[in-house]
């Protein structure tokens, strides 16, 4: 299983892969993979996507993307060498076997924001509807001296290298904040 087309896509150059999901990330990653893979099976549990209309149109126009709609993953299977394929079940209960060496999953993430929940159930700082912490470019939250980084912040690219960069920014900001409080 893979969770980053940019990171792992080159391992499947010229091969067939499957992408699971129906949102913006899944469709964008399918489009990226279609440029380097021979075929991309886009598996989605519904018959429509939750993505920007122009992204949906680009996916539908891409010759080597096959839509596998109204279907959910039933089993990813393989051997000692890795993934061999994906079995999907459609709404009629029929199983389809898609033989691919790579499966990419983009079905959404739960934000790990439990540490910000107060006793009354409210959040310590401002969050959006998805529970992501609202920050500015300096990783500052709505609470002075509180910074949020990585996947828990808004517009996070969900990449380790980006989270590390966020951490560096937040650390420098926190040092400045503490210095200002101590010396100001």
pLDDT digits (tens, 9 = 90+) for 61-119: 999 999 999 999 999 999 999 999 999 999 999 999 999 999 999 876 678 899 999 99
Residue 158 scores a pLDDT above 80? no
Q: For the segment 90-101, what is each residue's pLDDT rounded down to a tens digit?
A: 999 999 999 999
Q: At what angle do helices 53-61 and 24-36 cross, to 10 degrees?
A: 30
Q: Give yes or no: 37 in active site.
A: no
User: In this predicted model, what pLDDT tens digit does every residue of 126-143 receive, in sequence order?
Assistant: 999 989 999 999 999 999
Tell me if residue 4 is catalytic: yes
3-state secondary structure at position 25: helix
The answer, yes or no, to whether residue 6 has pLDDT greater than 90, is no
Report the pLDDT averaged over residues 34-62.
95
Strands 95-99 and 39-43: unpaired
Active site residue 7: yes
- In 3D space, the residue among 72, 16, 77 whose CA is nearest the CA of residue 43 turns out to be 72
Distance between CA atoms of residues 44 and 67, nearest Å: 8
Q: What percent of the chain has a predicted confidence (pLDDT) above 70?
A: 98
- Number of C-beta neighbours around residue 156 at 10 A: 19
pTM higher than the cut 0.75: no
* Catalytic residue (one of 7, 47, 136, 179): 7
- pLDDT band (50, 70, 90) for residue 120: very high
Q: Which two tokens stand for residue 52?
A: 């920007």
Q: Backbone phi, then psi, for 6, in 5-degree steps?
A: -65, -40
Residue 59 has pLDDT above 80, yes or no: yes
- Domains of the chain and CATH, by start: 5-105 (3.50.50.60), 114-183 (3.50.50.60)
Residue 3 pLDDT: 75
3-state secondary structure 51-70: CCHHHHHHHHHCCCEEEECC
- From residue 36, alpha-carbon distances to 22, 31, 39, 82, 86 in Å are 20, 9, 9, 20, 20
């Amino acid at each position: 299983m893979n969770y980053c087309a940019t990171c792992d896509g080159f391992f499947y150059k010229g091969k067939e892969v499957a992408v699971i999901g129906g949102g913006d990330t899944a469709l964008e990653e399918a489009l990226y993979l279609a440029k380097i893979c021979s075929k991309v099976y886009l598996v989605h549990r519904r018959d429509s996507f939750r993505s920007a209309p122009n992204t949906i149109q680009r996916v539908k126009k891409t010759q080597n993307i096959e839509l596998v709609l109204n279907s959910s993953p039933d089993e990813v299977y393989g051997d000692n060498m890795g993934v061999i394929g994906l079995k999907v079940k459609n709404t009629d209960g029929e199983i389809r076997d898609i033989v691919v060496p790579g499966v990419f999953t983009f079905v959404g993430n739960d934000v790990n924001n439990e540490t910000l929940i107060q006793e009354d159930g409210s959040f310590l700082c401002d969050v959006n509807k998805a529970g992501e912490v609202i920050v500015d470019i300096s990783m500052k939250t709505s609470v002075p001296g509180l910074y949020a980084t990585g996947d828990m912040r808004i517009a996070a690219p969900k990449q380790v290298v980006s989270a590390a960069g966020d951490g560096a920014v937040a650390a420098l900001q926190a040092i400045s904040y503490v210095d200002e409080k101590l010396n100001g």
